Amino acid sequence: MKKALAVGWKEFRQIRRDRRSLMILLFIPIFFLLLFGYALNFDIRHVRLAVQDRDHSAESRELVSAFVNSGYFDLVATIGSQTELDRLIDTNQARAAVVIPEGLGRDVRTGRTSTVQIVINGDNVNTASTVMAYAVSIVQNVSASLQLQQMMPGRAPGAPLVAVPRIWYNPELKSALFLVPGLIAFIGMITAAISTTMSIVREKERGTWEQVRMAPINTLSYVLGKTTPYLAISLVSSAIVIAAAMVLFDLPVRGSWLLLFGAVLLYLAGALGTGMLISTLADSQLLAFQVVALLAFLPTMLLSGFVFPISSMPVAIQVITHIVPARYFLVALRGIVLKGTGLHEFWPQLAALALYTTIVLGLASVRLSRERG
């Protein structure tokens, strides 16, 4: 018993000395509780909605009010042309749009059926399916209400309004077209972040880091030398994943290949910077892997909009998602691959990626220069 207590006390003292590992062990349960309790929300709410009302009748206003008051949609724009509709959907300023035809009120009052077009952004299959169900249900409820209001003797029975959904960019709602861009982001983060993190931490464990510290090389040259090979490997890996997705899952590339290369390059550079920054915080490969999982893998999977829509998360979690590079990369990637949009549609996302890459590489360089000093 005394020997067991001695071993336990020795282990406790060792854990207490390794404060970084101790903080991770204590922090991870709270982090998972908050993440899975608040961020992982299967309810789709606050869907950004645009409305094109060509009728401007009491009936059309009642339909718009039904969407806004449902609690599922937030009216973000009232548009007057197809060009505005295309722009809002392409830039993700609107996830759905209701197009009310001219003469809807007259058709309802005279007993004819009028069709209401529901345009839905299909780049996220889960969201698109749910939004379509919401929209069709709302139109059916308004139609039933109008039918009761306009009932007259001798009128033929029939629904005054019929919803006609149109799914853009993924009309068949193929799950592969939704999952593959997210997997490209996730695999890229794994390849880039782990490779650089483990490379530097391995040198610390083997004792060769002291030789690097004494070598006549500046920090910038060291960072470039460390990241360039892994950046090339990560680019090749991403190219293989994209090519395989095109062959196996019919992934289209409707936009510019040059823009696609630029977006992937920026994202991977940021992932490499993340790995290098993490390597300055960890002294062992086990601790490094834990930190990479906490700061890179989980946010990429759960807080990027890959699986769960960001708009449905609490405001505090939405704020955190702004420091997740995959959030911006997925918008740009889906815009290039599925929508075929140009740089003017998603340049803010590329600018955010460039800023993130600059910050993490800068911080990593500063910390490395202090360790080598």
Q: Is position 68 within any domain? A: yes
Domain termination residue (choose one: 131, 151, 168): 168
The residue that leads in pLDDT, 107 or 42, is 107
Q: Are residues 161 and 207 in the same domain?
A: no
Q: Are residues 212 and 161 in the same domain?
A: no
Q: Are residues 197 and 154 in the same domain?
A: no
Asked if pLDDT for residue 247 goes beyond 80, the answer is yes
Beta bridge partners of 96: 49, 120
Is the Cβ–Cβ distance between 346 and 256 less than 8 Å? Answer: no
Q: Are residues 225 and 100 in the same domain?
A: no
Q: Are residues 193 and 309 in the same domain?
A: yes
Mean pLDDT of 286-300: 80
The residue that leads in pLDDT, 248 or 220, is 248
Q: Are residues 142 and 188 in the same domain?
A: no
Domain termination residue (choose one: 168, 199, 233): 168
Q: Grade residue 344 by pLDDT with cuts at 50, 70 and 90.
A: confident
Q: Are residues 350 and 225 in the same domain?
A: yes
Q: Is position 278 within any domain? A: yes
Q: What's 96's domain CATH number?
A: 3.40.1710.10
Q: Is position 37 within any domain? A: no
pLDDT at 4: 58
Q: Is position 272 within any domain? A: yes
Q: Are residues 213 and 299 in the same domain?
A: yes
Is the Cβ–Cβ distance between 249 and 176 less than 8 Å? Answer: yes
Q: Is position 17 within any domain? A: no
Q: Is position 254 within any domain? A: yes
Q: Grade residue 15 by pLDDT with cuts at 50, 70 and 90.
A: low
Write the pLDDT tens digit of every residue in 117-163.
Answer: 999 998 888 888 889 999 999 999 998 888 877 664 444 556 788 99
Q: Is position 18 within any domain? A: no
Write the pLDDT tens digit of every residue in 199-246.
Answer: 777 777 776 655 655 666 676 677 777 778 888 888 888 888 889 888
Q: Are residues 130 and 188 in the same domain?
A: no
pLDDT at 3: 56
| Mean pLDDT computed over every residue of the chain | 82
CA angle 335, 42, 174 (to 5 degrees): 45
- Does an H or E element contain 117, and which? strand 114-121
Q: Grade residue 295 by pLDDT with cuts at 50, 70 and 90.
A: confident
Q: Are residues 205 and 155 in the same domain?
A: no
Q: Is position 88 within any domain? A: yes
Domain termination residue (choose one: 144, 168, 192): 168
Mean pLDDT of 310-320: 81
Q: Are residues 214 and 325 in the same domain?
A: yes
* Distance between start and end Cα atoms, the chain: 47
Count each helix (H run) and each strand (E run) in the chain, helices first: 15, 5
Q: Which two tokens stand for residue 152?
A: 């007259």
Largest separation between any pair of C-alpha atoms in the chain = 96
Give residue 218's domain range: 175-372
Cα–Cα distance for residue pair 311/48, rounded to 1 Å: 9
pLDDT at 139: 92
Beta bridge partners of 261: none
Number of structural domains the chain divides into: 2
Q: Are residues 158 and 239 in the same domain?
A: no
Asked if pLDDT for residue 43 goes beyond 80, the answer is no
Cα dihedral sign for 356, 358, 361, 363? negative
Out of 29-33, 97-101, 192-196, which region has the weakest mean confidence (pLDDT)? Answer: 29-33
Q: Grade residue 297 by pLDDT with cuts at 50, 70 and 90.
A: confident
